[in-house]
């Protein structure tokens, strides 16, 4: 499936999830994210927006439990990651996504585990984002790359190009 078609299918499927199902699925994803980060020191994590799999509860939990968390800020065609200590350090940035207003820069190679947003994914851990390639620009083989998604966002197969970085796994409620 072409990336544009996969993206559209995944976003439509995500938007159609009922409020009751979304609440149920978010609780499962939150538990799985906590379990996944247990063996990692530096965790990169997106700050969720709109209908994305929510990361706010996870970020609050991680901050409360002393985890070292780095969140992204758009810089040109890539992302910089900054250590987060409080939600007060975030303000609307590019595309109205909450971004860090400053703080300590964390290099991608310092990040052990990266929770990645997506619009769709397939069984081989290929993903689509929103088409800008921000995450592909920073993902590398040295970190464990984990997509966070609802099961409904899975598609049959996504065509990929040489610049696309596969995930190591995708966490879903299923």
Whether residue 170 is predicted with pLDDT greater than 80 in this model: the reply is yes
Q: How confident is the model at residue 147 (pLDDT cuts 50, 70, 90)?
A: very high
pTM: 0.94
Would you tell me which CATH number, out of the four given (3.10.20.310, 1.10.10.10, 3.40.50.10420, 3.30.470.20), belongs to the domain 3-171? 3.40.50.10420
Q: What is the largest CA-CA distance in the chain?
A: 41
What are the two backbone dihedrals, phi and then psi, of residue 146, each rounded to the nearest 5 degrees?
Answer: -125, 120
CA angle centred on 154, ends 152 and 157, rounded to 5° = 155
Mean pLDDT value across the chain: 94
Look at the chain and count its residues: 174
């Amino acid at each position: 499936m072409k990336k544009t078609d996969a993206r559209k299918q995944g976003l439509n499927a995500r938007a159609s999830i009922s409020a009751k199902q979304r609440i149920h699925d978010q609780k499962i994803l939150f538990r799985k994210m906590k379990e996944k980060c247990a063996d990692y020191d530096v965790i990169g994590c997106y700050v969720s927006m709109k209908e994305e799999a929510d990361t706010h509860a996870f970020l609050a939990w991680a901050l409360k439990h002393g985890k070292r968390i780095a969140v992204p800020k758009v810089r040109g065609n890539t992302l910089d990651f900054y250590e987060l200590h409080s939600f007060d350090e975030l303000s609307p940035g590019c595309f109205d996504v909450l971004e860090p207003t400053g703080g300590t820069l964390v290099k991608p190679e310092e990040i052990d585990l990266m929770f990645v947003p997506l619009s769709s994914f397939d069984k081989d851990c290929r993903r689509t984002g929103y088409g800008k390639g921000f995450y592909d620009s920073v993902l590398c083989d040295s970190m464990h790359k984990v997509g966070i998604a609802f099961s409904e966002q899975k598609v049959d197969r996504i065509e990929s190009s040489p610049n696309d970085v596969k995930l190591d796994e995708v966490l879903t409620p299923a």
